[in-house]
Structure 1
Amino acid sequence: MSTNSEQATAAPQMVTMADFQELASQLFNVQARLERLDQQHVEAKNNVDTLLKVVPLFAGNEMAWSAVAWETAVRKCIADFACNKSKYSVVLLLKQRITGPASAAMTALNLETLDAFFGTIKSTYNTVT
């Protein structure tokens, strides 16, 4: 077992140009990943905002939910979707969370009516199975 004094007297390891190039490559990859995540966040937020505007239309004049209730339900479903759940699961989650007078209108909520939105989200997260 080496002591601190032995470690202090050991020759320092030389840093080569290849080490710097490897570090630069890793930093570039991290920066690229951060930029992609930032773009995905913006796209996901836009998808949620669009969905929040459109989903209440299914309820028509029987809209009984507050804007906060809709936002909470939709954001939860989108979050579940982003965590590797398929769009089928999200539609089911929406139907489960929407109760009361608005639930009758939810029978019209199906995969075809939301395909455009989930297609965009699919391309953003690439997680739909």
Structure 2
Amino acid sequence: MLINAAELLAVAIFSAKFVSRLRPYNNQPIPALLLITSLLLLIHPATGTAFFQVIYCERILILLWILFTCAYLNYQQHNTQSSFYSTILFGLIGLFIKDTAILLFIVPPVMIMAFGIFNRMQG
């Protein structure tokens, strides 16, 4: 039970970090962002099902997905080689956790590449 709470805390912290990085030009921290993110995660019924029951692969999948999104956003903003490799690493590990992980780890990059090909996305 303590490991479940630690994984949920890590997901809340990385979710708040992801939301705060979406504002690249404003370096001021958002007050109470971690509190709001934690409250939203805790009152959602899927969080209780995934984290506080015996569904191990969903907990790990959610943790790897938020790490993947944070690393990908860091790569998009700073274009560093370490964030590129960590994005690939979290994506590959996440693909082998569960069969439905393809929707989380493959579809968004493919859509971004498709939008880039058809000039529907900047950057």
TM-score (structure 1 length as normaliser): 0.32
Whose helix fraction is larger, Structure 1's or Structure 2's?
1
Who wins on radius of gyration, i.e. which is larger? Answer: 1
TM-score (structure 2 length as normaliser): 0.34
